Amino acid sequence: MNKQQLISTLADKAGLAKVDALRLVDALEQTIREQAQQGNEVAFASIGRFKVRTSAARTGRNPKTGESLAIPARRKVVFLPGKALKDSLN
């Protein structure tokens, strides 16, 4: 499902105009992005949570030359599905 399909589905299920559903999705995206930038977790009880993790610095290898190179530590966003979502799949 892409963003436009999500907007249409939300509009239908919530009885919203598509423009209002678009504003809702855009606000949700912006809020999750802002919270991630601050290192905060965003949790939806029945769906899961978005969490910021820091990967450790490590040594990698250039696949073309075989040369070793340093890969710096970095922050990344991970999604951890909630129990209700996992249970609904099986």
Q: What is the DSSP string of 1-57?
A: --HHHHHHHHHHHHT--HHHHHHHHHHHHHHHHHHHHTT--EEETTTEEEEEEEEPP
pLDDT band at 90, cuts 50/70/90? confident
Share of the chain above pLDDT 90, in %: 97
Average pLDDT, the chain: 95
Task: Report the distance separating Cα 80 and Cα 5, nearest Å.
Answer: 23
Instruction: Find where tokens 């799949």 sit.
Output: 89
Which contacts (CB < 8 Å, 24+ apart) does range 17-22 have?
none
Would the pTM count as exceeding 0.85? no
Instruction: Name the phi and psi angles at 38, rounded to 5.
Output: -85, -5
